Amino acid sequence: MSLTNSILRATPRDSAPVKAILDRLPEFEGRPIRLGFLPSLRARRGRLHSGDRQPGTPVHAASFIRARRIVMDRALFDQASRLGRGEFTRVLLHELFHFVWVRLGNPARDSFQRLIRHEMLARATGELGWSAESRKRIPLLKPSKSRLWREYVCESFCDTGAWLYAGTKCHDEITLARRHRDRRAEWFALQFSGRPIPL
């Protein structure tokens, strides 16, 4: 493995393009995370598969928190090299923010949950990425300590971090009203302003 920076490690083949992306991102701190690429990623029953003939739902990436590893779809990375880095950066940041969520601590997680509850009470529709949007659409989802609620809040946090730090202005998946986006941006600024983001 070649060191891409103090946070992310990639193979020598992938290090230069990944470093170019990371150089534009906020400062993170924590133990290194290995980044790898496989073709045709699919997820099924909590497992990640690679290959067109594998079962499951196509996905762009997956994070393995305990192993400190991210696997991304090779086609997304190759497309970024040819067409621009926007979508690759957004997906990579989403995965990095899964590690941030774990390191955040209960008070900050509870604070973000209250922010999301406030949005739901205000009948806010939309989200900042499909990962959160798809979970928000679960019919009986209510603010509680259920697994579905926790998953939704986590994905909402990760999509918000990706939206905010990737600098994505327009995207089909950004459907949350501006006033709610502004509140989330304020929350992130209060949490992380003036210090590295913990991974």
Domain boundaries, the chain: 2-102, 105-198
pLDDT at position 138? 66
pLDDT at position 169? 77
String of DSSP letters for 83-116: H-SHHHHHHHHHHHHHHHHHHS-HHHHHHHHHHH
Nearest CA-CA partner of 5 in 24, 32, 37: 32
pLDDT at position 142? 58
Pairing of strands 2-3, 197-198: unpaired
pLDDT at position 5? 47
pLDDT at position 1? 31
pLDDT at position 2? 35
Query: pTM of the predicted model, to two decimals?
Result: 0.88
Which residue stretches of the chain have pLDDT < 70? 1-6, 12-13, 16-17, 81-84, 138-145
